[in-house]
Amino acid sequence: MIRGVAAHSDEMTGIMPLARGDDALASRLALIDASEVSVDAQYYIWHDDVSGILLLGALERAAGRGVRIRLLMDDNGVPGMDDYLAALNAQDNFDIRIFNPSTVRRPKMLGYIVDFFRMNRRMHNKSMVADGAFAIIGGRNIGDEYFRVGEDIFYIDLDAIATGAVVAETSAVFDAYWNSPSVFEAERIIDGQGTQASFDARLEAVKSSAAADEVAEESIISMKRILADGVSLEWTRVQVVADDPAKGQGIASQDQLMISRLFRILGGVSGSLDLASAYFVPGKNGTAFFSDLVQNGVDVRILTNALDTTDVFLVHSGYSRYRRELLEAGVDLFELKLRRENIESDLQVLPLGLSGASLHAKTFSVDQERVFIGSFNFDPRSALLNCEMGFLIDSPTIAKGLSASFDGPIASISYQPKLTPEGKMIWQENVADGEIVVYQEEPGASWLTQISLAIIGFFPVEWML
């Protein structure tokens, strides 16, 4: 499918970032359509929208030609999908399982009242493996906003497609989750009221839409771009970093947590750390960790969402508690701002893709030599509650690309919080012709918003953010 799959060491992996949403969707569709033996996929969110239904339709076609489909979904991320999932699960070669399902199906959120601590642990993993030969891992869920289908709000996000040694590791992670005690067969959870006719009607309605026609056209363009001369896989060493599925039961030991491995990786930073995290709540330990890195001579730059781009206000309140301390320590912060008319809609922020309404990527570059691409946000929820996974890639090329984006493009689409010599916090915004606008108060924050942020800070909810 992708040029560059040749004879390489058994320990090597061919890897390529997928920064553009259309490339990410086209790659998934192409992998499913080309599959001959199996497709294994696990996702936190799978929407009932154009991209979600088209991907389910592709999986259904694959199952029809004898491909074994295993689809593992987090129960929180598939609202209103029970009928469709029941219909697909009833087909030959199509098996669906659900992670930490609610015992109450309608309304599903009542399950939190019955079993809050179990239901509060979610499977945030995002991966797809086709024929045991190719794998896609990253930050994208399945939904139009992740692939920039249509003209609505979309996310800046990042995936990677891989072939070679790391695919077997990725498959092993999937198998561990598929067989974990937190996972249940769909037929045990869903009433089974769905009919094939209902899904067929939904699929036909989507396929006949203008948005689906646009996806088809863009998929052709995307695959031509991916297959074009000069676009090839980089062969290097890649490893999967993942939480043990025991985390879904709340019984994972410290060494089974992904955060422990990440801190060991980050502990070896000697020169620079450039990190993008959609939801960034470092907590006391994380703030001390990043501060110590700076004290040891490491340049630390962090990109997260600004108040006017975050989609989770509570998370921003958690981040804002540590912002001053991070700035005092010497950490450079960037807050992705709401798109303005003076920013071109096709501005590239390589390798994070197009400038959009909100950051969703979770990636970091270590010493411009290694890069992480995955589902892990630097917040308490990713560290202690949700199950996460990602690729750690030995690639100066990809790592330097991420770091280079902090040197230029990211500054042009972000607010930069800073401290004045008097210790007052300000926000700088780079606008046209090199002009810098300075805000004395947080951009987008009304007096009511500022009061709300302060009040929320007093409540002991950080562990859930």
pLDDT of residue 199: 95
pTM: 0.91
pLDDT of residue 341: 45
* Structure token digits, residue 260: 């422990």
pLDDT of residue 347: 38
* Structure token digits, residue 361: 């990527």
Residue environment code for 294-321, b if the CB has 16+ CB neighbours within 10 A, otherwise e: beeebbbbbbbbbbbbbbeebbbbbbbb
pLDDT of residue 1: 44
pLDDT profile of the chain (465 residues), mean per 10: 54 93 94 96 97 98 98 94 94 97 83 87 97 97 93 84 96 98 94 81 96 92 74 90 97 94 86 95 94 96 91 85 96 84 40 60 95 95 96 96 88 92 94 85 76 66 62
How far is residue 387's CA from residue 442's CA, in Å, rounded to a whole number?
33
**CATH code matching the domain that covers 257-464, chosen among 3.40.50.150, 3.30.870.10, 3.40.640.10, 3.40.190.10:** 3.30.870.10
CATH assignment of 13-227? 3.30.870.10
Please answer whether residues 240 and 166 qualify as being in contact, where contact means their C-beta atoms are separated by less than 8 angstroms: yes
- Residue 189: phi and psi, rounded to 5, are -110, -45
pLDDT of residue 230: 53
How far is residue 278's CA from residue 294's CA, in Å, rounded to a whole number?
22
Q: Give catalytic residue positions.
A: 124, 126, 131, 360, 362, 367
In the chain, which segments carry CATH 3.30.870.10?
A: 13-227, 257-464
